[in-house]
Amino acid sequence: MKKDLKIVLTGGGTAGHIMPILYLAKLLKKNKNNKIYFIGEKQELAKELISKFEIPYYSIYAGKMRRYLSFANLLSPFQFATGFFQSLFILRKIKPDLVFAKGGYVTVPAGLAAKFLKIKLMIHESDVKMGLSNKILAKFAVKIFTNFSVSYYPEKYHQKMTRVGIPINPDFLNTPDQNILESLGLTKKMPTVLIFGGSLGAQNINFAVSKILAKLLQNYQVIHITGKLNYEKFLQRQKRLPKDMQKNYKIFDFLHSQMPQVLASCDLVICRSGANSLNEISALAKPAILIPLPSAASNHQLYNAKIFQREKAAILIEESKLNSQKLFKTIRDLLKREFLLKTLGENANKMYFPNSTEKIAEEIKNREQHL
């Protein structure tokens, strides 16, 4: 096996696709002989994140595959064709040993170009329902990594599938900062509820929380990550609360470096059911109320949440059935039942697959065993 392994990583669309790639890239770069490259879309979130890791970034057109009527769909075939030829040029220039694709429509032209050039392709699927990009690339991949049990995926691919979980931020696995609550002006003597959605926030969850906020703060502390769109609104909402309640309510538009410690220190989580969020909750054995995003592609968040519900690893509330009264009652009933909280957390932890990043890196290292 040659020492200077060249690996092209590709993925995009959401942080959910990009962040696991970054954790993998960070591990691969520990071997200074490895050369890592990234193919992503122009003006993509990935470009901003990848730049911090000093990884060469190549931009291509992708042609988003929309599942709804849109004028932009007319341009997609031309953008895809452009992206395919751009990928051919990039891959011929780099001559990588392997392409690893995490998901997102940008991976399709890059993955197909890899197949055309007879470069080994490996892909990763985080959700229980395989995404459209991975469905297209699955037949060409020499290895398919999955987060959930292989039994949930098409049987024709089982032979080349391996369940490894999802690469996770190592900070979630380190000993949490026991003083994080105090540093935020909170106490360990009251139950703490953590509420968060995506980077822009979860509008309907935020709306339901707003209506029961005063009732929640009578008995609980709330850490609320509102997302950028709703942050100012909730900042004003906080100012209208009675003084004794204001101290129990901490709001943020986004949390990054402190998120592992905050998640580790809370008693109950309320969030969407994206695969990365579920992975972090599972790693830290946290009880959760899951409210899937109904507009997620192929409704994959609902299917993710149903797996956790089936394993008694979380409580599921579908957004169509969400109202403030139901949410408050579920929170109150859970926090009254310590045994149930513990059981949910323990069962969630059973869903966590450790050492995912290392397992994928090892498979990449041993790529030559894959035909």
Non-local CB neighbours of 26 within 8 Å, separated by 6+ positions: 53
Same domain, 105 and 188: no
Tokens at residue 312, please? 């008694």
Write out the residue range of the structural domain in which residue 34 sits.
6-166+354-369
Same domain, 331 and 359: no
Contact 79, 63 (CB under 8 A): yes
125 falls within a domain: yes
Same domain, 277 and 146: no
The C-alpha atoms of residue 162 and residue 158 are separated, in whole angstroms, by 8
Amino acid 165 reads G
Same domain, 161 and 215: no
270 falls within a domain: yes
Parts of the chain with a pLDDT under 70: 1-3, 43-44, 63-75, 175-177, 198-201, 368-371
Q: Provide the phi-psi class of 103: left if phi over 0, else alpha when psi is between -120 and 50, else beta.
A: left
Same domain, 151 and 179: no
Model pLDDT for residues 103-120, shown as the tens digit of each residue: 989 999 999 999 999 999
191 falls within a domain: yes
The C-alpha atoms of residue 335 and residue 193 are separated, in whole angstroms, by 9
The C-alpha atoms of residue 130 and residue 110 are separated, in whole angstroms, by 18
Contact 353, 306 (CB under 8 A): no
| Strand boundaries in the chain, DSSP class E | 6-10, 35-41, 57-60, 98-101, 120-125, 143-146, 161-163, 192-196, 221-225, 249-252, 268-271, 288-290, 315-316
The C-alpha atoms of residue 353 and residue 148 are separated, in whole angstroms, by 9
Same domain, 72 and 211: no
pLDDT in the model for residue 58: 95
CATH of the domain at 228: 3.40.50.2000
The C-alpha atoms of residue 264 and residue 176 are separated, in whole angstroms, by 6
Looking at residue 10, the DSSP 8-state letter turns out to be E
Domains in the chain: how many in total?
A: 2
pLDDT in the model for residue 1: 42
Same domain, 156 and 23: yes
pLDDT in the model for residue 65: 59
Same domain, 229 and 364: no
79 falls within a domain: yes
Same domain, 51 and 84: yes
Same domain, 308 and 328: yes
Tokens at residue 95, please? 């001559």
Same domain, 35 and 154: yes
Model pLDDT for residues 326-369, shown as the tens digit of each residue: 999 999 999 999 999 999 999 999 999 999 999 999 999 987 66
CA 280 to chain centre: 9
Amino acid 162 reads T
Sheet holding 268-271, edge to edge: 249-252, 221-225, 192-196, 268-271, 288-290, 315-316
Same domain, 121 and 215: no
Model pLDDT for residues 167-209, shown as the tens digit of each residue: 999 999 986 667 899 999 999 999 999 999 866 568 899 999 9
1 falls within a domain: no
